[in-house]
Structure 1
Amino acid sequence: MGTGSNGQLVASTLSSVEAELNYLKAGQGRPVSYTFEPPPGVPWVTGELEPRRVAIRDGRPLVALHELSLDRSGFTQISHRSVVADFSHDATIRDIYYREAEALLRDVTGAEKIVVFDHTLRDSAQGSRRTAELREPVRRVHNDQTFASAPRRVRDHLPPDEAEERLKHRFAIINLWRPLATVERLPLAVCDARSIAREDMVPSDLVYPDRVGETYSFTWNPRHQWYWFPRLRPDEALLLKIYDSREDGTARFTAHTAFEDPTGAPEAPARRSIELRALVFWPAA
């Protein structure tokens, strides 16, 4: 895993669950997913999935040892209570939660500038791919950006001159993932970036009404190291690195997916969560 001796010892003794994750089957070409109702006869998603049973370890002990961090593994878990209690109003999210997230990300990363550019509410009972306001959890292994699409995000959300200057220096895209109630169903699994090989990543089209974005799907690799954070609470959150321009061994992204917790109760309440994505800019070195 690339951890120190203490981290290796803890990783080998972590409690874990064995669960099925949906990878892209190898040799599928370039998958396509729609964010809106596709034309008649066109599937919502292409690319055959290949379910694989994997061990998913409890990441909390390694976070405490600083073995799982944004720059080492591509993700971490933090304690943070939001001032927002009701996430049902879009204006509250944009006016209050966005500003709160900007301050949090600036504090955690030491960045100079944060630009929040979107958010997604998810509900495993009420959400649907047909409703942009409330989506269902994604149950396939993916990453939200690619080496090609991340720089485009900078150009989409900054003035042209500033965008070109910022692209000369380090920037990242980080997902702030927060449960809205204690997670008892469909928790999030995250893959250690150090266990991912370049050939595991498959560029995939994400079709919007006005443009086509690009994400990564992933094929199975037995080296993948998966983690989760059991019963994550609203006063806890995950930070996921979904792109980093740095090329010095720093984690550049992390695969993630919702999964069925085999230890969960069938009558457990639905998973409700909010994820927020932000451009993170550091000053010129």
Structure 2
Amino acid sequence: MGTNMIQTTAHFLERNQLYKTEKPYSLRFSPPEGFPRQSTKLEEHEIDVQDVRTAGPLSYATEGCTVLDFQSLMEYDDYYDEEKVKDVYLREVANLLRDYFGASKVQIFEHRVRKRHVKFPLATGESYQYDQPTSVTHVDTTLEWVLSMVSRLNPERSEEMLKHRVQCVNVWKPIKGPVKDWPLALCSAGSINPTEDLEPCDLVYADYVVENMQIYHTDKQKWFYLSDQMPNEAWIFLQADTQPGAVPGEPPTEIVPHVAIPIPEVILGEYPPRESIELRALLFYETSQ
């Protein structure tokens, strides 16, 4: 294996006949006694992950993801100040996305800070103060869920907005660097078979439901990560797109699965726990592109 490649592990959805008749789900709250918390069955696979730091930059046009140089005005402590995140960081990212994609409107609908607990990935039975890295491969949304989000956020204008192209992207970056602890790995959109590798899944919260995509493993999938990622290096990756040829209910195209991965030679606790911020945004265009 070359110096720009590591071998690690990630969790994938197990191929199960159950999902042919029952949609997989995962409850994000404590259910009544005796009610299964999830129907998703996972399996661990080894994956080869290429380091784009040494292998060369990625093309968003072909891979569905890329790393941008993003110089934020935010200081470390600012990311734990919700008002500063909303007033400064979200505005900065909206401008970044508008400039990079040429979108006429950017609508950020979710953001979160993740800070790994020192015990993760071991379960402690406690509620963590911050969201933890996600060790299960997934895509954040389905196209159907994105279209419903457009309607919920823009009830009076959604019909007109949906006449043109809409994209959903994720922007992810560390708060501290360099990241040596559970970095983010992404799968090339071109290496995914949309009819064979993806399974819609309901993430059920106490008051709402998110439909995402769980991933089946194949050896054809091509994974990337950025070693020693710094706070000025932001991943941007596609999660849903009404074009080209995207049809609700049909297998999606050009979307990017992702997952947090352990670095094999790194001993748990050897480096500071990963701290990161991510957001999901809708991109609108005045004309279909």
Alignment match of 1:180 (pick from 175, 184, 202): 175
How far does residue 114 in structure 1 lie from its aligned partner after superposition?
0.2
> Is the 1:23–1:52 contact (alpha carbons within 8 Å) kept by the matching residues of 2?
yes
How far does residue 121 in structure 1 lie from its aligned partner after superposition?
0.9
In 1, Cα distance between the equivalents of 2:242 and 2:144?
11
Partner of 2:286: 283
1:168-197 deviations in Å (ceiling 9; x for gaps): 111101111010112111111100000101
Tell me if 1:21 matches 2:10. Answer: yes
- Paired letter, 1:77: V
- Paired letter, 1:35: R
> Is the 1:73–1:251 contact (alpha carbons within 8 Å) kept by the matching residues of 2?
no
Alignment match of 1:165 (pick from 160, 163, 166): 160
How far does residue 94 in structure 1 lie from its aligned partner after superposition?
1.3
Tell me if 1:106 matches 2:98. Answer: yes
How far does residue 271 in structure 1 lie from its aligned partner after superposition?
0.7
SS in 2 for 1:20: strand
The structure-2 alpha-carbon separation of the partners of 1:73 and 1:264, relative to structure 1 and needing over 3 Å to count, comes to same
TM-score by length of 2: 0.86
How far does residue 42 in structure 1 lie from its aligned partner after superposition?
3.7
Tell me if 1:141 matches 2:134. Answer: no
> Is the 1:36–1:130 contact (alpha carbons within 8 Å) kept by the matching residues of 2?
no
Partner of 2:249: none
In 1, Cα distance between the equivalents of 2:141 and 2:90?
20
The structure-2 alpha-carbon separation of the partners of 1:281 and 1:63, relative to structure 1 and needing over 3 Å to count, comes to farther
How far does residue 39 in structure 1 lie from its aligned partner after superposition?
3.4
In 2, Cα distance between the equivalents of 1:89 and 1:232?
23
1:40-91 deviations in Å (ceiling 9; x for gaps): 3445443111111111001235653xxx233321111111121111211111
TM-score by length of 1: 0.87
Tell me if 1:117 matches 2:109. Answer: yes
- Paired letter, 1:15: N
SS in 1 for 2:167: strand
> Is the 2:138–2:215 contact (alpha carbons within 8 Å) kept by the matching residues of 1?
yes
Partner of 1:70: 60
**What stretches of structure 1 of length at least 5 have no aligned partner?**
1-11
The structure-2 alpha-carbon separation of the partners of 1:265 and 1:13, relative to structure 1 and needing over 3 Å to count, comes to closer
SS in 2 for 1:232: coil
- Paired letter, 1:278: A
Tell me if 1:191 matches 2:180. Answer: no
> Is the 1:143–1:217 contact (alpha carbons within 8 Å) kept by the matching residues of 2?
yes
Alignment match of 2:231 (pick from 230, 234, 239): 234
> Is the 1:241–1:251 contact (alpha carbons within 8 Å) kept by the matching residues of 2?
no
How far does residue 251 in structure 1 lie from its aligned partner after superposition?
5.6
Partner of 2:69: 79
In 2, Cα distance between the equivalents of 1:282 and 1:14?
41
- Paired letter, 1:74: G
In 2, Cα distance between the equivalents of 1:45 and 1:184?
31
In 2, Cα distance between the equivalents of 1:117 and 1:178?
17
In 2, Cα distance between the equivalents of 1:73 and 1:168?
26
1:210-234 deviations in Å (ceiling 9; x for gaps): 2222000011111100000011111
Alignment match of 1:208 (pick from 205, 213, 216): 205
In 2, Cα distance between the equivalents of 1:176 and 1:140?
18
- Paired letter, 1:214: E
Alignment match of 1:93 (pick from 67, 85, 94): 85
Partner of 1:46: 39
- Paired letter, 1:164: E
**What stretches of structure 2 of length at least 5 have no aligned partner?**
247-251
State the number of aligned residues: 270
Q: Percent identity over the alignment?
A: 31
